[in-house]
Amino acid sequence: MRLEIKDLHVFYGKIEAIKGISVVVNQGEIVTLIGANGAGKTTTLKTISGLRPVSSGAILFDGQDISGMSAHQRVEIGISQVPEGRGIFPGMSVLENLEIGKYFRKDRKSEMQEDLEKVYSLFPRLKERTSQSGGTLSGGEQQMLAIGRALMSRPKVLLLDEPSMGLAPMMIQNIFNIITEINKSLGTTILLVEQNAQQALQRADRAYVLETGKVVKEAKASDLLNDPAVREAYLGTGAH
């Protein structure tokens, strides 16, 4: 698996939200995209998933340009996203939410139980709540459900849009631990979008810094953690 975004431009009407960014995600890596509000992080992930059309540039998945492929086919080839705000189906139970994560694989019914067990072992809390409706879960539980649901399709690459948003510090630790575990033990490649730069940079292998639709910095995550400019702008601990 190798995901490569080449000189991507994306518009909302006449407004150019993504102004030519290039990002590479290699097999087995955790890559993080950090940046302030409105930098274009969500738009980038939506475009990779096929929810926004590409104006110019390419999205290569294992060398093949997928920018013309419809969104559901991208899930089939192994790109799964946990969207910003989690995207839980509120009127469905926890179990139904998980099952629908495997929707397109009706030929793989036999995998269902195995994958449910896999998700429950990562998130034991979900197992206790299989029949509770998704809309009544706490924020942290919803995030667990959203990640578990995305894993049901056995993705090759998992796109995570601000998984720590709105969570208490304990839960943030918990979620990031699990993301690391998914990467290490399941071998799933991860593209992580975060505002919580501290956590993201500690967990990631490489990082890109986005500002108003452009990549302004690209480096090993550990280097960015010690970069004074990044510390000042995103970690709130710069020298004053």
Partner 1 sequence: MNFSVLTSQFWSLCLSGLSLGLIYVLISLGYTMVYGVLRLINFANSEIFMVGTFATVWVETGLTGHTSNSNPLHGFQLVYTLLFALVVSMLASGLTAIAVEFLAYRRLRARGTNRLASLISAIGMSIILSESARILTHSRPQASPRLMEKTSFGHIAGANFRIDTVLVVISALLMFFALDRFVNKSRLGKAIRAVSMSEENAKLMGINLNRVISVTFLIGGLMTGAAAFFFMTVYETTKFNVGFNLGLAAFTAAVLGGIGNLRGAFFGGIALGLLETMSAAVLGSQWKSVTVFVVLVLVLLVRPNGIFGEAIQQTRV
Ligand X SMILES: Nc1ncnc2c1ncn2[C@@H]1O[C@H](COP(=O)(O)OP(=O)(O)OP(=O)(O)O)[C@@H](O)[C@H]1O
Q: Which of 32, 42, 80, 143 binds ligand X (CB under 6 A)?
A: 42
201 binds ligand X (CB under 6 A): no
Contact between residue 102 and residue 111 where contact means Cβ atoms under 8 Å apart: yes
CB 52 to Mg ion: min, Å = 13
Shortest approach of partner 1 to residue 142 CB, angstroms? 12
160 DSSP assignment = E
Residue from 42, 80, 188, 199 that binds Mg ion (CB under 5 A)?
42
Q: Does 44 bind Mg ion (CB under 5 A)?
A: no
- Checking DSSP bridges between strand 189-194 and strand 206-211, what pairing results, if any? unpaired
Min. distance of Cβ 71 from ligand X in angstroms? 16
Give the DSSP letter of residue 195.
Answer: S
Between residues 105 and 214, which has the closer beta carbon with respect to ligand X? 214
Q: Check binding of 12 to partner 1 (CB under 8 A).
A: no
Are the C-beta atoms of residues 40 and 212 closer than 8 Å to each other?
A: yes
154 in Cβ contact with 101 (< 8 Å): no
According to CB under 8 A, which residues from 86 to 115 bind partner 1?
A: 87, 89-92, 96, 99-101, 103-106
Closest CA to 144 of 111, 112, 181, 110: 181
Q: Which runs of consecutive H residues, i.e. helices, occur in the chain?
A: 41-49, 71-76, 94-100, 111-122, 124-127, 139-151, 169-185, 197-203, 221-225, 228-230
Residues that bind ligand X (CB under 6 A): 12, 15, 17, 35, 37-43, 84, 195
Q: Which residues would be at the binding site for partner 1 (CB under 8 A)?
A: 46, 49-51, 70-72, 75-76, 80-81, 83, 87, 89-92, 96, 99-101, 103-106, 135, 149, 153
